[in-house]
Amino acid sequence: MKWIDFEAKSAEEILAWAVPKFGSRLGLASSFGMEDMVLIDMISKMNAPVTVFTLDTGRLHEETYATMEKARSRYGIEIKSYFPKSADVETLVSTKGFYSFRESIENRKECCAIRKMEPLSRALSELDAWMTGLRREQSVTRTDIPKAGPDLNNLHLVKLNPLADWTEDQVKAYIEKHEVPVNPLHQRNFPSIGCAPCTRAIEPGEDIRSGRWWWENPEHKECGLHRPK
């Protein structure tokens, strides 16, 4: 099967292909937003041995931790947490302060590299494939993401985005139909949820990613986890 063939497949069909192929060597990178909770619900219905992992940057919202616990309780899953190296965080904070990421794009990317990119590298070293809840309509930086293909930053890995062509309405409809628990921040106009200092609620009519790194231009609003180097 060619990667382009996956574009015609549903999210459930992609999971049905990936689960038996990769088993526990397939990981779901979850920040416990709506899309990730949809995927957790789907794999739980398959009794799939997928590894669910999260990058705990040390600056997540309290509501995100509460949602993690709801997922653990509801689905009976183990969540692997990867933390940044303490020495790197200590050096960053000691030399540049607690909010250096708001001073420049370079500083923000440095913070993301320490708190997210390095932990992700450790997580992916234990996998053969990983998947995300990315959707094309989320931002201008995601309009071309494929449903399946090689991870361009880690060519030995397969990367899956089963919900790539889903709309926000489809996500919400699935959540309502299957009574999927969601992060309460979504009810407070947080469509995209990351670190607490880098995430805010959006106003009516704003882009759904406008609450992330709102001091930057839209084309820069990625931490590096999902963009080719």
Active site residues: 223
Strands (E), the chain: 26-29, 51-55, 79-82, 129-131, 148-151, 154-160
Q: What backbone torsions phi and psi does residue 60 show, to the nearest 5 degrees?
A: -80, 160
The DSSP H or E segment spanning 163 is: none
Compute CA distances 53 → 95, 144, 171, 197, whole Å.
30, 25, 21, 22
CA separation for the pair 194, 209 (Å, rounded)? 11
Of the candidates 21, 53, 25, 18, the one whose C-alpha atom is nearest the C-alpha of residue 148 is 18
Residue 22: strand, helix, or coil: helix
From residue 37, give the alpha-carbon distance in Å to each of 31, 43, 51: 9, 10, 14
User: The tokens 């957790």 sit on which residue?
Assistant: 40
